[in-house]
Amino acid sequence: MLLLDSSAIINGLRLDEKNKYIITSDCFAELKSMEFRLLAENALNLGILEIRDACPSSVQLILDFLEKLGDKRLSKADISLLSLAAEFKELKRDFEVITDDYSIQNVLKILKIPFSAVLQGKVKKAKKWKK
């Protein structure tokens, strides 16, 4: 199972029928251009992409973690993706997050959640921010 950030679709990840893809509603809303929106909607219609959101307790867990980490740069969509990833980890799901966003990758690395990138490469070392 692959959990997608909007950057994965924007940067050209090819969605195929061999995998199951999930995107949060906030990440889906970031697909503003007609091209990317149609690509995602087509995948939804084919049943290879699903929109799913984390439960409120998972969102709060990530918000608390980010406050302790001192990272204030993440958007609502970023937080939705991290929340669902944390929820999947807690449920011991076999998944990987696909994102080119280094801020998201940094948090995933600290949380020991597997991730890959499409174009940008992967963050090498996690950073903790000072308050």
| 131 residues of the chain, pLDDT tens digit each | 999 999 999 999 999 999 999 999 999 999 999 999 999 999 999 999 999 999 999 999 999 999 988 877 899 999 999 999 999 999 999 999 999 998 999 999 999 999 999 976 665 555 554 44
Q: Is position 124 within any domain?
A: no
Exposed e or buried b per residue across 61-90, where buried means at least 16 C-beta atoms within 10 angstroms of its C-beta: bbeebbeebebeebeebbbbbbbbbbbbbe
Residue 102 tokens, joined: 């280094």
**CATH value at residue 21:** 3.40.50.1010
Cα separation of 103 and 55, whole Å? 22
Q: Is position 19 within any domain?
A: yes
Q: Is position 127 within any domain?
A: no
CB 13, CB 117: distance < 8 Å: no
Q: Is position 41 within any domain?
A: yes
Range of the domain at 80: 2-116
Please tell me the total count of domains within the chain: 1
Cα separation of 75 and 78, whole Å? 5
CA dist 52 → 27, 34, 111, 117, 124 (Å): 10, 21, 20, 21, 29
CB 53, CB 59: distance < 8 Å: no
Q: Is position 130 within any domain?
A: no
Query: What was the pLDDT predicted at 131?
Result: 47
Q: What pTM was estimated for this model as a whole?
A: 0.89
